[in-house]
Structure 1
Amino acid sequence: MRFFAFALTLILLNSVARGADIFVDNVRGDDRNRGNTSSFSEGDNGPIATIAKALRIARKGDHIILTNTGVPYEESITLQGGNNSGWEFAPLTIEGNGAVLDGRAPVPVDGWKHVQGDVYCFAPTYKTYQQLYLDDRPAKRVTVDDISQIDTLKPLEWCLTDGMIFFCSEKDRGPGSYRLTFTARRTGITLYEVRSVKILDLTVQGFQLDGINVHSNCYNVELGGITSRGNGRSGVSVGGASRATLNKSLLGDNGVAQLRGEGFSKTTVIDSTLLENTAPATFRDDAKITIDGQEVGDAPVAETAKALRLLPQQGAPASPLRR
């Protein structure tokens, strides 16, 4: 009898620990639904529309499953505290299925102001760590020390100076004739005081600060199969006393660093690629970063990346945005 009771308790605990599946579809879902099934024939049990709603109703150890509709999820989401955590043996999981989380917005045509010649300027919401996209790819950025050097911009180049985006169009074309977007949302995914979280198979792009920010007091966080690209500051940032693992992922085209660590954080990178095409592979402020078993030291970042074979190999894509 005691054995039967013990076995029943284990079964019940295991059932609870596995958590529930929450289905999200940003094209056909509805946030009035419960997200219990991916089927649209199940009435209000069908998929919900946003990841933010899924996180609001999630409980410890749940599994949030995104439908890759081919349309980006245009959200900025936060995982915080117990309900957005899991157990070591049953983590809270966001399964991206190759979907894209996108932080961009179109530059309003009437937002451009003529400066001189073929140069125009635009005032973004956030004045630092910006990116300007041309046809869904980061446009060529150049460094301009002050506004007096704006005339050095060449066609299709841009810079960020005095909190303004300056863009040089081609002759006889105004900026409104291009498909230009900027990084309008702050951070793609923010994690704060969570435990045992997995984020898998997801592309995060076009956010003003970081694609993913493991902010503080986060433990047993795994980022697997992540592509984080074209963000204003970094692809992934890990801070505070957080512990995170980046596995089989690709970071590139970010503004300041591909992977950023600060505080007492520890980041373990396994079988991943950190491109140095637009910024150093890593930036470390007291934090510990280990890449394939080797700790990143205080040597120049370019030399460290070369030693760790993180530069693109022959035949590899020059940019993750061109995959």
Structure 2
Amino acid sequence: MKRKTLAALLVTAALAGACEAREIFVNNVAGADNLDGLSDRASGRAGPVRTISRALCLALPGDHVLLTDTGVPYREQVSIAGPRLHGSERRPLVLDGRGAVLDGTVEAAPGAWRPAVGNVFALALRRLSTQQLFSAGEPLKRVSLTRSADAPLALEPLEWSLVDRRLLVKLEQDRLPESYDLRHAGLETGVTLYNTHHVIVRNLVVQGFHLDGLNAHELVRDCLVDNIDSRANGRSGLSVGGVSRVEAIASNFYDNGRVQVRVEGQAELALESCEVAASEGAAKFKTAGGELKVNGQAVVAP
């Protein structure tokens, strides 16, 4: 398949094959993983499953996994890998978020936030180099500091930094961490693609994972990322490696920790009509081998 026509072919195939494909429904509020997933409403043993992971366990090649946007984030990692989870040129496997949020953040243990200096609190974490901090589901602004002592003056309320092997956040006057819905990056990767082909991942917000929002790790071909917001992940919004071939269309990559989009090895990635925004300390692109094209133009960003 020629990559320049990949998006059009896969989207057309998904629409044409929708009447043939099974639909597996996921609802993280009303669903249950002991249901069959074949209906969006529960009745007996029929009804939506609760987790994306369970839906993928039930999926066959060319199926459509449909998430319900309940307003509650799906807090899990998703892996599309192996001989069963794939599609074909005529019937791609589809993971359709339908506007839902896939979130990799976790809460700190009770008492883990400790007073540091002034109105700044500190959290000691094992995974410090690729972190993000959220409040009420929204990423907070990160500021680069070299000393903890600078935090009271350098940080505004609800800004944070990684310094002296701790995550520091400045709070509003006379407030404690427990009065906020603070969550930090905990799960590793939002959507991992490995040894698969003819897959569409679309209509999904992916945030708060300590490595990548989406990672086409290896042996991925003819896969499409469509209408994805991948933001505020610890390393990157999208990473493509090995000998994988991926196209992303109409997607947004921003506020990720080290780089927004990365390509390595002998991978090939084409971005079409995507918004990629650099942030503090994180460039738009990084290429360590492989081939990156943005709207048809080759990009090299070592």
TM-score (ref. length: structure 2) = 0.88
Q: Kindly indicate whether the alpha-carbon contact (under 8 Å) linking 1:125 and 1:184 is maintained by their aligned counterparts in 2.
A: no
Mapped to 1, the partners of 2:146 and 2:20 lie a distance apart of 54
Larger Cα-atom Rg? 1
Mapped to 1, the partners of 2:60 and 2:25 lie a distance apart of 14
What is the one-letter code of the residue matched to 2:195? E
Which consecutive aligned stretches of 4+ in structure 1 deviate over 4 angstroms post-superposition?
Answer: 146-152
Partner residue in 1 for 2:83: 82
Instruction: Report the CA distance between 1:282 and its aligned residue.
Output: 1.1
Partner residue in 2 for 1:243: 245
Q: 1:127 to 1:154 in 2, by over 3 A?
A: closer
Partner residue in 1 for 2:51: 50
Q: 1:140 to 1:92 in 2, by over 3 A?
A: same
Structure that is richer in helix per residue: 1
Q: 1:162 to 1:192 in 2, by over 3 A?
A: farther
In the alignment, structure 2 segments of 5+ residues that lack a partner are 1-15
In the alignment, structure 1 segments of 5+ residues that lack a partner are 1-13, 300-323
The number of equivalent residue pairs is 285
Q: Residue 53 of structure 1: SS of its match in structure 2?
A: helix
Q: Kindly indicate whether the alpha-carbon contact (under 8 Å) linking 1:95 and 1:199 is maintained by their aligned counterparts in 2.
A: yes
1:145 corresponds to 2:166: no
Q: Deviations over 1:207-238 (max 9, x none)?
A: 11111111111001100011111111111111
Q: Kindly indicate whether the alpha-carbon contact (under 8 Å) linking 2:285 and 2:301 is maintained by their aligned counterparts in 1.
A: no
- Find the partner of 1:26 among 25, 28, 44: 28
Mapped to 2, the partners of 1:273 and 1:44 lie a distance apart of 43
Partner residue in 1 for 2:103: 102
Matches within 5 A, 1:300-319: none
Q: Deviations over 1:134-154 (max 9, x none)?
A: 333222211123556545542
Q: Kindly indicate whether the alpha-carbon contact (under 8 Å) linking 1:124 and 1:184 is maintained by their aligned counterparts in 2.
A: no
Mapped to 2, the partners of 1:153 and 1:174 lie a distance apart of 19
- Find the partner of 2:188 among 174, 186, 189: 186
Q: Deviations over 1:249-276 (max 9, x none)?
A: 1111111111111111110001111122
Q: Kindly indicate whether the alpha-carbon contact (under 8 Å) linking 2:286 and 2:301 is maintained by their aligned counterparts in 1.
A: no
Q: Which moved more, 1:222-231 or 1:151-160?
A: 151-160
Q: Residue 286 of structure 1: SS of its match in structure 2?
A: strand
What is the one-letter code of the residue matched to 2:295? D
1:293 corresponds to 2:301: no
Mapped to 1, the partners of 2:46 and 2:126 lie a distance apart of 38
Q: 1:162 to 1:37 in 2, by over 3 A?
A: same
Q: Residue 56 of structure 1: SS of its match in structure 2?
A: helix
Q: 1:188 to 1:298 in 2, by over 3 A?
A: closer
Q: 1:28 to 1:258 in 2, by over 3 A?
A: same
Q: Deviations over 1:37-86 (max 9, x none)?
A: 21323x21211111000111211111111111121111111111121111
Structure that is richer in strand per residue: 2
Mapped to 2, the partners of 1:223 and 1:280 lie a distance apart of 21
Partner residue in 2 for 1:129: 130
TM-score (ref. length: structure 1) = 0.82
Higher relative contact order (CA 8 A, sep 6+): 2
Q: Which moved more, 1:208-217 or 1:140-149?
A: 140-149
Mapped to 1, the partners of 2:149 and 2:264 lie a distance apart of 35
Q: Identity of aligned pairs, percent?
A: 37
What is the one-letter code of the residue matched to 2:36? R
Q: Kindly indicate whether the alpha-carbon contact (under 8 Å) linking 1:200 and 1:226 is maintained by their aligned counterparts in 2.
A: yes
Q: Which moved more, 1:184-193 or 1:128-137?
A: 128-137
Q: 1:168 to 1:238 in 2, by over 3 A?
A: same
Mapped to 2, the partners of 1:31 and 1:176 lie a distance apart of 32
Partner residue in 1 for 2:283: 280
Q: 1:241 to 1:23 in 2, by over 3 A?
A: same
Q: Residue 83 of structure 1: SS of its match in structure 2?
A: coil
Q: 1:155 to 1:173 in 2, by over 3 A?
A: farther
